Homo-oligomer: A and B are copies of this chain.
Amino acid sequence: MSTATEPPRRADAVRNRRLALDAATALLTEPGVSLTVEAIAKKAGLGAATVVRAFGGKDALLDTAVSRLLEPVVQHARDLLAETTPTQALRIFLRELIAFQAAHYAINDQLGGLDLPATTALRTDLVRAVEEMIDGARRDGAVRTDIDLAIITTLIGQTALAVARAQPPSQELADAYLTVLLDGLRP
C-alpha cells in the first residue's frame, strides 16, 4: 500500500484550513469578486501565505471548494434517477441545475485557466446522470430522438451556464430558459 504515515496536523492548521475553505466557498457565490488569494485570505482573516499552504496552492483550494458545492448536486441527480421516472427526474433536475448555476456563477466566471481535477470528475458524473435521464425520457417518448445524446447534454450544460452568465441571473430568466429548453426538446 502507498498510505504514507501522515504526520498529525496541528490544531490551528486544521482550523485555518477550514476557514480558508469556507471563505473560498463564500466568495464563489458572490458576483463581481476577483477571487484572488488575497481576497480569500482577507475574508478568512488569515495571511495569504497560510491560505496558499492550506491546500498546496490556489487551484487545489478552489477545486476542493467547488467539489463540495457540486457533490450534493450530483448525488441528487442519482437519487432522482432511482426515485422517479427519467422524464420527471429530468424536469426536476434541470430546474435545480439552473438554480445552482445561477447561485454560484463565479464558478463559471472566474475558474477559467485553473486545473480542477476533482471538479472535472464530478462534472463527468453529472453529465453521465443527465445522459441516463435523457435516455430514459426518450424511451418514454418525452424527448426527441433526432438529436445526438452528447449534443443534448452539451446543450443543457451550456444553457444552465448561459443563465448564470446573464446579468443579473433572475428567476424569470431561469424559468424562461427551462420552458423553452424543455418545449424544444420534445419530439
Contact = CB atoms under 8 A, between A and B. Distances in A.
Contact of A161 (B152, B165, B180, B186): B165
Interface string A143-187: 000011001101100110111011000001100110111111110
Contacts of A159: 159, 162
Contact of A158 (B165, B179, B184, B185): B165
Main secondary structure of the interface of A (DSSP, over half): helix
Contacts of A173: 151, 154-155
Contacts of A172: 148, 151
Copies, count: 2
A154 B166 contact: yes
- Listed residue (A162, A163, A177, A181) with the most chain B CB atoms within 10 angstroms of its CB: A162
Interface residues of A, number: 25
A66 to B, nearest CB: 18
A158 B154 CA distance: 14
A162 B158 contact: yes
B179 A180 contact: no
Given A155-B173, A181-B184, A184-B185, 11 more contacts: A148-B176, A154-B166, A154-B173, A155-B180, A158-B165, A158-B166, A159-B159, A179-B184, A180-B185, A183-B184, A183-B186
Interface of A: 147-148, 151-152, 154-155, 158-159, 161-163, 165-166, 172-173, 176-177, 179-186
